[in-house]
Chain A
Amino acid sequence: MKKKTLSSVSLSAILFLIFYPLAQAGNSFNSYQIRPILGFEYLTRMINPDQGESNSKLKAYLIHLGAELEIEEGFRLGVLIGYSFSNFDAMTFRNLPFSVELDVGKIGGYLAGAELTKKIFKFKEIEIAAWGQFVSYLGKKEEWQIPGLAVEGSVEGKPFWMRILVGPQIEYKALESLTPSLGIYYNKLWGKFKLEEKVQELEGKEEKKISGKGILDFRPGLFYRITGKIGFKAEASLIPREKGIDPGFLMRFIYSF
C-alpha cells in the first residue's frame, strides 16, 4: 500500500513537472530544444533515523540519464532516470528480536526524477533562475545472513529515499565558453528503510524513517562548453549541519541538438 502511494506520488510529481509547463507553453511546442544528459552525482548526508540518538551517514552514487527540454527562452524542463548505489552503513535497528547494525555497503536501486529551471531575473551578465529538482531512489530488496547465531537467521531490507532541491541559481555569463554558477537550495531528503528479520520461529519488522540533517545546500559550479554542441557541468555540494558539512559533487555532460 505504502509502496504504491510512494510510486504514485513520484510519478505524479514527474508528470506534473513535465506537462504543466507544456500546457502553459501552448503554441510554442515547435520551439523546443532537447538536450540529452549523462550525469554522475555523489552525495553524502548525515541522516537521523527516527530522530533517535544515533546518526548514520547515507552515501550514494547516482548515475543518471536524462533529457532537458528548453520550452522557451530561459524555461527548461528535464526528466532523469538512472541507477543509484546507496550506502546506509551504521544504521541500527533495535526493534527486532536481535538488534542489527548494517555494514553491507552499497545497495543498488532505481532512480527517477525531474528538474525545472526558470529564468527570473537578468542584470547585465548575471542571470538568476529558479531551479528545482525531485529525485527518488527505490532500493532493491536484499537479504543478508545474521552472523554468529546458534541457528540460521537472516534479515531482508529495502530502502528508499527522496530528495527535493529548490532555490535560486546565479550564473555569470560574461565568459565565452565558461559559466560559473552558485546555487543556494533548500535541500530536503527523506525516506524509509524497512527491515524484516527471521530467525527460526522469531520474526520481527522494523521501519526506520530517514531524515537528512541540514536544509541548505550551497552548490558552486561551472559549465564549460567543450564544443558547440557538448557542454560539461561540474558542481560541488556543501550541506552545512550541526557539527560538520556533508559534501558531494555532480558531473554532467549535456548535448545540444
Chain B
Amino acid sequence: MRKKIFALLIFVISALLFSAKYEKQRLDKNINKRGETVLSDSNVLVRTQIPRLKEKRFADKRILVKFKPFLPVFKIEEIIKNYEIRKLRKIEHLGISVLEIPEDKTVEEMIYLLNQNPDVEYAEPDYVAYILVTPNDTFFKYQYNLYNSGQRVAPPGVPGAPSGKERADIKATAAWEETKGDDDIVIAILDTGVELTHPDLKNKIFSSGRDFVNEDFDASDDNGHGTYVAGIAAAETNNSEGIAGVAWNCKILPVKVMNEDGEGYYSWIVDGLIWAVDQGAEVINFSIGGEASSFSLEEAVKYAYEKDVLIAAAAGNEGSSVLYPAAYDAYCLAVAASDYDDSTPDWSNYGPEVDVSAPGVWILSLWPENLTPSGYLPYVWGNGTSASTPHVSGFAALIKSIKPWLSAREIMSVIRYSADDINSSFHPGKDDFAGYGRINMEKGLVPIKIRLSLQN
C-alpha cells in the first residue's frame, strides 16, 4: 500500500469567540489536492446507501433454537426428528442450534410449537440485520463524532491524534436510516459568516444571507469559524468528497454577526437573530457567546422561542459558568462538550443551564478556501463547544424534518430525554457538566422498540 504523507498545521485562534482552546489541524495536500487521493489509506468508504429492506425481518425457513442445558444429545436429536426439522449447524460457544424448518411450516408456527416444548429454552427467528447508512465522504472515517468504531480520529500523519471509544458518538448512521433531513428545513448559523462557495457547502446554502457587521447581504466568512460550524451541522453529504454533515439535506442560512476577529456586538446578534427568524429558519445555531447577560439578547431569544424556532447555543470553553445566550435556560438548549471517549473536557463550561453535551474535541469540519494556506485542504480539526453545538442544531433540524408538528419546546425535550447519560457513574441523572448526557440521534429519531420484558 502506498504511503503518502500527511502534515499537520495547528492553529491556535485563542482570540476567537471564547478565547479558548480552539485547535485546528489541516490536511496536507503536498501530495495531492483532493480528498480521495490525498489520503494514503486507499480504503476510503465507497459504500452507498443501502436500501431499506424492512419487509424481510427474518429468514424464511431458518430458526435459532437453544435447548435446555444438559439435555442429552439423543433427546435433542429426538426433538429435531419429531418436528421434522433439519439441523444446519451449531453455534458452539452459546449452545444455539441453527435449524431448517419443514417446507410446509412457517417460521411463526415452528417458533410457537418449539417454545411450548419444555426442553427448549427458547426458539426465535433468524432475524435480518441491515448495514447502516454510511456516507461516501472521503473523510467520514475520521468523524468519530458521527460514528465511532474506536478508530483514530485523524490520519497517522497527524501527531497527537487519539483513538476513539466504540459507540462514543451521536449515532448518526443509525439515525440517517430514519431521515436525512428535509431541504425545506433551514439552520441559521449566527457566526462569522459562511464561505458560500466552499465545495462541501455551496449546494447547501439557502441564500447568501445577511452581514450585520458590514451591513450588506453577503454573509461570506472572513474568519473561518462560521464555515467550520456550518460544516458540522450540514456539510454536503454523500458527495464523495470531504466530510458528512449531521443534517444531510437541510439548508444553511448564513448570518454574519461576528467580525473577522471573532467578535460581535450584541446589537448585531440581536439584529441577526430577529432577521433569521423572520427569514423562516427553524433552527438557530449559536456557537458564540458572551459573559454578560442582556435584556435585549434575552428578548431576542424569547422572540425566536415564541416563533417556534429552536436555539442551540454553546455553553463556552472556559471551564466556568455558562455563557449567554445559552444561559437563557427557558429559551435555549445549552450545549456542553464531550469527547472521543465520552468524557467531558475540563474546559467545557458547566452549570444548571447545561441541557446536553455533544462531541467537541478533534472534530473535523470545513475551513474557507481563501483562508487556507497554499498546500492545504480546506478542512480542519477543532475543539470547543462551538463544535458541539452544530451537532445539536443538525439533530434538531432532522427532528423537525420528520415531525414538523412538534414545537421548539417539544423538540428540545426530545433532544434532552434521548441523551445518553455518559457520566452516570459519578453524576447520575441530569448534572451540571453534561446535562442529560451526550445526544443520541438514534433514540430521538428511530422508533424505539417497546418490549414486553420492560412492562410495568
Neighbouring A residues of B456 by C-beta, 8 Å: 143-145, 154
Say how far A8's CB is from chain B's closest CB, in angstroms.
31
Q: Please tell me if the beta carbons of B418 and A150 are within 8 angstroms of each other in the complex.
A: yes
The CA of A50 and the CA of B446, in the complex, are separated in Å by 19
8 A Cβ contacts from B412-436 to A:
413-414, 416-421, 429-430, 436
Identify which of A10-18, A27-35, A65-73, A194-202 touches chain B.
Answer: A194-202
Neighbouring A residues of B413 by C-beta, 8 Å: 97, 199-202
Q: Please tell me if the beta carbons of B108 and A59 are within 8 angstroms of each other in the complex.
A: yes
Identify which of B94-102, B249-257, B305-313, B447-455 touches chain A.
Answer: B447-455
8 A Cβ contacts from A109-137 to B:
none
Identify which of A86-94, A158-166, A174-182, A223-231 touches chain B.
Answer: A86-94
Say how far A199's CB is from chain B's closest CB, in angstroms.
6
The CA of A236 and the CA of B286, in the complex, are separated in Å by 64
Identify which of B144-152, B181-189, B235-243, B437-445 touches chain A.
Answer: B437-445
Q: Please tell me if the beta carbons of A144 and B430 are within 8 angstroms of each other in the complex.
A: no
Q: Mark B163-181, 1 if CB is under 8 A from A, else 0.
A: 0000000000000001000
The CA of A101 and the CA of B57, in the complex, are separated in Å by 14
Neighbouring A residues of B414 by C-beta, 8 Å: 97-98, 202
Neighbouring B residues of A102 by C-beta, 8 Å: 450
Q: Please tell me if the beta carbons of A55 and B447 are within 8 angstroms of each other in the complex.
A: no
Partner pick for B448 among A55, A100, A150, CB 8 A cutoff: A100
The CA of A30 and the CA of B454, in the complex, are separated in Å by 56
Check if A149 is an interface residue, CB within 8 A of chain B: yes
Neighbouring B residues of A199 by C-beta, 8 Å: 413, 417
Q: Which residue of B lies closest to A61 (CB)?
A: B112
Check if A187 is an interface residue, CB within 8 A of chain B: no
Neighbouring B residues of A39 by C-beta, 8 Å: none
Q: Please tell me if the beta carbons of B436 and A103 are within 8 angstroms of each other in the complex.
A: no
8 A Cβ contacts from B96-117 to A:
106, 108-109
8 A Cβ contacts from A95-109 to B:
95, 97-105
Q: Mark A223-257, 1 if CB is under 8 A from B, else 0.
A: 00000000000000000000100010000000000
Q: Please tell me if the beta carbons of A101 and B449 are within 8 angstroms of each other in the complex.
A: yes
Most buried by B among A92, A102, A148: A148
Contacts A59-B108, A101-B449 given; indicate if A144 touches B454 (C-beta within 8 A): yes
Q: Bin chain B's interface residue count.
A: 35 or more
Q: Please tell me if the beta carbons of A149 and B417 are within 8 angstroms of each other in the complex.
A: yes
The CA of A54 and the CA of B52, in the complex, are separated in Å by 11
Say how far B405's CB is from chain A's closest CB, in angstroms.
8
Check if A167 is an interface residue, CB within 8 A of chain B: no
Q: Bin chain A's interface residue count.
A: 35 or more
Check if B131 is an interface residue, CB within 8 A of chain A: no
Q: Which residue of B lies closest to A90 (CB)?
A: B57
The CA of A94 and the CA of B447, in the complex, are separated in Å by 7
Check if B55 is an interface residue, CB within 8 A of chain A: yes
The CA of A153 and the CA of B416, in the complex, are separated in Å by 13
Most buried by B among A98, A104, A155: A98
Check if B274 is an interface residue, CB within 8 A of chain A: no
Give the tally of cross-chain contacts (CB within 8 A): 100
Q: Please tell me if the beta carbons of B446 and A99 are within 8 angstroms of each other in the complex.
A: yes
Check if A211 is an interface residue, CB within 8 A of chain B: no
Say how far A214's CB is from chain B's closest CB, in angstroms.
15
Partner pick for B54 among A54, A100, A243, CB 8 A cutoff: A54
Q: Please tell me if the beta carbons of B447 and A148 are within 8 angstroms of each other in the complex.
A: no
The CA of A57 and the CA of B402, in the complex, are separated in Å by 25
- If over half of B's interface residues share one DSSP class (helix, strand or loop), that class is named, otherwise mixed; here it is mixed
Q: Mark A191-214, 1 if CB is under 8 A from B, else 0.
A: 000000001111000000000000
Neighbouring A residues of B106 by C-beta, 8 Å: 44, 247
Q: Which residue of B lies closest to A53 (CB)?
A: B54
8 A Cβ contacts from A52-83 to B:
54-55, 57, 59
Say how far A98's CB is from chain B's closest CB, in angstroms.
6
Check if B31 is an interface residue, CB within 8 A of chain A: no
The CA of A151 and the CA of B436, in the complex, are separated in Å by 9
8 A Cβ contacts from B30-46 to A:
none
Q: Which residue of B lies closest to A44 (CB)?
A: B108
Say how far B355's CB is from chain A's closest CB, in angstroms.
11
Neighbouring B residues of A144 by C-beta, 8 Å: 450-452, 454-456
Neighbouring B residues of A101 by C-beta, 8 Å: 447-450
Q: Please tell me if the beta carbons of A98 and B448 are within 8 angstroms of each other in the complex.
A: yes
Q: Please tell me if the beta carbons of B437 and A150 are within 8 angstroms of each other in the complex.
A: yes
The CA of A200 and the CA of B54, in the complex, are separated in Å by 31
Partner pick for A150 among B54, B402, B416, B447, CB 8 A cutoff: B416
Neighbouring B residues of A59 by C-beta, 8 Å: 108
Contacts A90-B57, A97-B414, A247-B106 given; indicate if A104 touches B455 (C-beta within 8 A): yes
Neighbouring A residues of B108 by C-beta, 8 Å: 44, 57, 59
Partner pick for A103 among B402, B403, B416, B449, CB 8 A cutoff: B449
Q: Please tell me if the beta carbons of A100 and B421 are within 8 angstroms of each other in the complex.
A: no
The CA of A105 and the CA of B410, in the complex, are separated in Å by 30
Check if B12 is an interface residue, CB within 8 A of chain A: no
Neighbouring A residues of B445 by C-beta, 8 Å: 99
Contacts A94-B402, A143-B456, A148-B443 given; indicate if A153 touches B449 (C-beta within 8 A): no
Check if B406 is an interface residue, CB within 8 A of chain A: yes
Say how far A74's CB is from chain B's closest CB, in angstroms.
35
The CA of A143 and the CA of B403, in the complex, are separated in Å by 24
Partner pick for A92 among B403, B430, B447, B454, CB 8 A cutoff: B447
Say how far B172's CB is from chain A's closest CB, in angstroms.
17
Check if A147 is an interface residue, CB within 8 A of chain B: yes
The CA of A227 and the CA of B431, in the complex, are separated in Å by 74
28 chain-A/chain-B pairs, Cβ below 8 angstroms: A90-B57, A94-B447, A95-B403, A98-B417, A100-B448, A100-B449, A101-B447, A101-B448, A103-B449, A103-B451, A144-B450, A144-B451, A144-B452, A144-B454, A145-B456, A146-B450, A147-B450, A147-B454, A148-B443, A149-B418, A149-B448, A151-B417, A151-B436, A154-B456, A199-B417, A202-B410, A202-B417, A247-B106
What is B's interface to A at a CB cutoff of 8 Å? 54-55, 57, 106, 108-109, 178, 402-403, 405-406, 410, 413-414, 416-421, 429-430, 436-437, 443-452, 454-456
Which 10 A/B pairs are nearest by Cβ-Cβ distance? A99-B447, A101-B447, A150-B436, A145-B454, A104-B452, A105-B452, A103-B449, A144-B450, A92-B447, A149-B417
Instruction: Known A-B contacts: A103-B451, A145-B456, A147-B449. Give 6 more (CB < 8 A).
Output: A44-B106, A98-B443, A149-B417, A150-B416, A150-B430, A154-B456
